[in-house]
Structure 1
Amino acid sequence: MPRRIGLTGGIGSGKSTVLAMLQALGAAAIDADAISRATTAPGGAAIPLIAQRFGADFITADGALDRARMRERAYAQPQARRELEQIIHPLVGAEVQRQVEAAQAAGARCIVFDIPLLVESGRWRAQLERVLVVDCEPETQVARVVARSALAPEEVRAIIAAQAPRALRLAAADLVICNEGLSLEALRNVVEQAARSFGL
């Protein structure tokens, strides 16, 4: 059975870079966020169920979830968010399982689950052998995201504030990669060390 590793980190931590390095070393990657987004994209598996539960006006003209309208509903009625999750989570779970089985069939020694909300969700930990957290200073996060996007520093700080607190992520970690002041080559060396402990 392949090792099951959860990967998480705040915005701008370098999590995606670490994931790409792990894939280059032979890990199979499962992106829980991308799977979740796909269920509510045009033609996604959740769309008919959302239309049935919330009404057709929650679906955009191109057949996707109207996120703005759903956000308004969830803000006004917290129960709506739970109902949406009850639709999406089983679909995500089924697709994750399908991808796990495909990775096993392909002979993967390690499966890395890219889970941005790993700490917040609470439902992932039992499915994972180890949790790998990519970490850096908050001001480093802000600088990286500002450099790669059109966001202002205060907007990035608001995103960071909405994510799990750094201390909570670190407390959930079995292994931490401190991505602070490292060159790409130095980061790759750290990732390779971690990968060896995952059987890669």
Structure 2
Amino acid sequence: MYLVGLTGGIASGKSTVSSMLRELGCPIVDADVVARKVVEPRSLAHSRIVFHFGREILLENGEIDRQKLGRIVFADADKRKLLNSITHPEIHREMFKQIIYYFLRGFRYIVLDVPLLFETRKLTQFLNHTVVVYCDPATQLSRLMLRDGLTQEEVEQRLAAQMPLNEKRGLASHVIENSGSREDTHRQVLRLHTKLEDSMDFLLVRVLAVAATAGLGGVLLYAAKMIFS
């Protein structure tokens, strides 16, 4: 087993590519799904967010209103940093648990679906491959306005909070071009999956697993704790 990072920009089509990989049988650790889980009512992160941002950001059922909180943090870099400091450690811990689960099940590779993969750089040192889902800026802008019903100012705030797609594309080891048809994107995903399945990168992880059983497990667990905490 080895790790593949999947990222993109808002409305670039990352979720579409992630779904295609899941349909091919790839295990996906989705940071967005994990992010929703760790802020559920009665969780530690939920309590801390309410303490700092007020009960005004809650829905009637006690869940966090993601759109309302989003408007606050995307308009204020300091508040966005505060929110990240609350949620990111919890997200990383939960993702690590899921990685171990899939590792024990013997999958050849695991996809970490992380929107801010290159912005935070917390996980990149563990990844054998990185994949960026790219679309041209005009397509990204129109998709985002149509999907979320945002004003142009709100769209620009969200885009400014992320690294430009062109820059992400330059950092990636693989690029999925998603400005065209779904069929074209699917063909690219199939080629990528074949390449990842044929990779021998999983052998290194097996060597590390053998080392762990030989008495180095404590060192490896300590390293994982330091990185994902």
TM over 0.5: yes
Q: More displaced, 39-48 or 93-102?
A: 39-48
**1:49-128 superposed matches below 5 A:** 60=58, 63=62, 68=69, 71=72, 75=76, 78=78, 85-128=84-127
Q: Is residue 25 from structure 1 mapped to residue 24 from structure 2 by the alignment?
A: yes
Q: How far 1:175 moved relative to its partner?
A: 0.7
Q: Give distance in 2, aligned partners of 1:134 and 1:84.
A: 26
Structure 2 residue ranges without an equivalent (≥5): 199-229
In the TM superposition, what whole-angstrom CA distance separates every residue of 1:138-193 from its partner, at most 9, and x where no partner exists?
10112223333323445434422332122321122011111122x22221111000
Number of matched pairs: 194
Please report the RMSD computed on the Cα atoms of aligned residues, expressed in angstroms. 3.2
Q: Which residue of 2 aligns with 1:189?
A: 187
Query: Which one has a larger percent helix, Structure 1 or Structure 2?
Result: 2
Q: How far 1:82 moved relative to its partner?
A: 5.5
> Normalising by structure 2, what TM-score?
0.70
The answer to whether the Cα contact below 8 Å between 1:135 and 1:179 also exists between their aligned partners in 2 is yes
Q: How far 1:44 moved relative to its partner?
A: 2.3
Identity %: 36
- CA change 1:189–1:65 in 2 (3 A) is closer
Q: Give distance in 2, aligned partners of 1:91 and 1:38.
A: 10
Q: More displaced, 15-24 or 139-148?
A: 139-148
Q: How far 1:65 moved relative to its partner?
A: 5.9
Q: Which residue of 2 aligns with 1:131?
A: 130
> Normalising by structure 1, what TM-score?
0.79
In the TM superposition, what whole-angstrom CA distance separates every residue of 1:79-129 from its partner, at most 9, and x where no partner exists?
x76665444333222211111111123332221111111111121211211
Structure 1 residue ranges without an equivalent (≥5): none
